Structure 1
Amino acid sequence: MSNKIGTLFGVSVGTGDPELITVKALRILQNTKIIAFPAGINGRLGVAQRIIESYLQPHQQILPLCFPYTFSEEMLNQAWHRVSLEVWEYLKNGEDVAFACEGDISFFSTFTYLALTVEKLYPDVKIERIAGVSSPMASASALGLPLTIQGEKLVVLPTVYSLKQFEEALDWGDTIVLMKVASVYDQVWQILAQRNLLDRAYVVEKATTDEEKVYHGLHDYPHLKLSYFSIVIVFVNRDNRK
């Protein structure tokens, strides 16, 4: 075992467009031998891997890590422990590992749980976090609208956990961003309809990717079948119609 412990880099790679990677993120990706990322499902490439694949070199080693899609705390904890051990096998021998993560590594990120678990198991490990573009900012750009103006209050909610908080936020927030909205979209639509806010609500699906879809105003979309990478933005007190 090397005396030197490698550094675990959390590298934000943006929301889909490879050009949204920062200069610093690209430098770390191209100068680190071990490149980790969440593995895709059913043999497909994961989102982060698709974003960075054109930047990687043949001599680099890829390390797909399997994370379960579940709400079971026990299963999640087991998965974090398992992947942390996988990453540690490289770190303990002095190898740096760059974990590529879609969006920003501090914003509802898989990397957060990996880093926390590695730090808990191996307190001497060095972790560096590289900031990047997150989906609310990318989605606002796709809409061609500012996310906030002057004193507007921004509220971000993981909707699948927070429908009640969503209703409360509509009473005091100015811009409401709803993450993880796909499974509860119909309920969100009903709340917006009751508040007469459908014309001030927008859906952006797979922002900045080749599959991006944008819905301006939701009157005609009560039952959208959305992918996991979809968000709703509501401008509660702003009329963006021209």
Structure 2
Amino acid sequence: MVGPAPLEISVGSAPPGLTLVGVGPGDPELLTVAGLRAIRAAAVVAYPLAREGAEGMAAAIAAPWLEQRQRRLPLLFPMVPEAAPRIAAWHAAADALAAEVAAGLPVVLLCEGDVSLFASSSYVLLALRQRHPHCPLHLVPGVPAVCAAAAAAGAAGIAWPLALQSEALLIRPTPETAVELETLLERAAGEAAVLALLKLGQRWRWVRPLLERRGVLEGALFAQRVGWPDQLVTSAAAVPAEERPYFSLLLIRQGWPEVLP
């Protein structure tokens, strides 16, 4: 049997093109081999910033694998509710990336988590296909935070498999209102689905008491900054009802399958 090729790849050794790389939720060790190959072969490493002067989280995750010879290309993706600034930013990013590729360079765009799951890179992908349809493009999936949270729970002694047997998995950003969340919980219960709520943040102040009233708080898993040194993964009942970081999530199971060990 032929084993995998060694990872001795020189910077800029790949042909011109753009690779979108999911770097995982926080731990550099969760980068895939394919993602690491793409990063090492790139001459230009692009990454998103929420505002000028900020540190890019995706770049911070990949930092141990980057080399000084690689040129950094920060791309501003403003986190604002208005559509126009976001669309303009995606178009500008697509144009900048396509220009680097047209100059004959291998380029990677780093993305937190996975490149296709609630990812800014997805909008860049759509803008590229519209504005630069001939730009060579490749996508490398990454580890989503929901998967990493369930794994971290298991490592911490909390048995919380993400989905079992015929269970469905429903992944959603946390709703803005209690009414929306009630509806979502009822849907998940009716479909025997595990509910993953992302971007919990300040909503935890009212989400926690709602889950407690419904009797599902004790069995829910709370995860915050998964993969980072200050990671918190614990029972949701152990977390006070106060504002939490933006990168926090909940896994909610309202019932277990009949056949279990």
Residue 156 (1) aligns with residue 181 (2)? no
Listed as ranges, the gaps of 5+ residues in structure 2 are 1-14, 155-159
Tell me the distance in 2 between the aligned counterparts of 1:161 and 1:34. 38
Query: Partner letter of residue 133 of structure 1?
Result: V
For 1:45-60, list aligned pairs within 5 A. 45-60=55-70
| Equivalent position of 1:18 in the other structure | 28
| Equivalent position of 1:138 in the other structure | 148
For 1:13-162, list aligned pairs within 5 A. 13-39=23-49, 41=51, 43-144=53-154, 145-160=160-175
Alpha-carbon offset, residue 70 of structure 1: 0.8
Query: Partner letter of residue 128 of structure 1?
Result: H
For 1:172-191, list aligned pairs within 5 A. 172=190, 173-191=192-210
CA-to-aligned-CA distance 1:136-194 (integer Å, 9 cap, x gap): 00011121121011111211111145755532332224311001111322232232122
* Distance 1:116-1:42 versus aligned 2 partners, 3 A rule: closer
* Distance 1:228-1:32 versus aligned 2 partners, 3 A rule: same
2:175/2:181 contact within 8 Å kept: no
User: Using CA pairs below 8 Å that are at least 6 residues apart, which structure has the higher relative contact order?
Assistant: 1
Q: Structure 1 stretch 185-194 or stretch 107-116: which is displaced more?
A: 185-194
Alpha-carbon offset, residue 227 of structure 1: 0.9
| Equivalent position of 2:244 in the other structure | 226
Specify which of 204, 207, 212 is matched with residue 226 of structure 2.
Answer: 207
* Distance 1:162-1:109 versus aligned 2 partners, 3 A rule: farther
Q: Structure 1 stretch 226-235 or stretch 81-90: which is displaced more?
A: 81-90
| Equivalent position of 2:5 in the other structure | none
TM-score (norm. length: structure 2): 0.83
CA RMSD in angstroms comes to 2.0
Alpha-carbon offset, residue 75 of structure 1: 1.3
* Distance 1:90-1:163 versus aligned 2 partners, 3 A rule: farther
* SS class of match (2:18): strand
Alpha-carbon offset, residue 135 of structure 1: 0.5
Tell me the distance in 1 between the aligned counterparts of 2:141 and 2:161. 21
Query: Partner letter of residue 83 of structure 1?
Result: A
1:40/1:47 contact within 8 Å kept: no
* Number of residue pairs matched by the alignment: 234
2:78/2:89 contact within 8 Å kept: yes
* SS class of match (1:149): coil
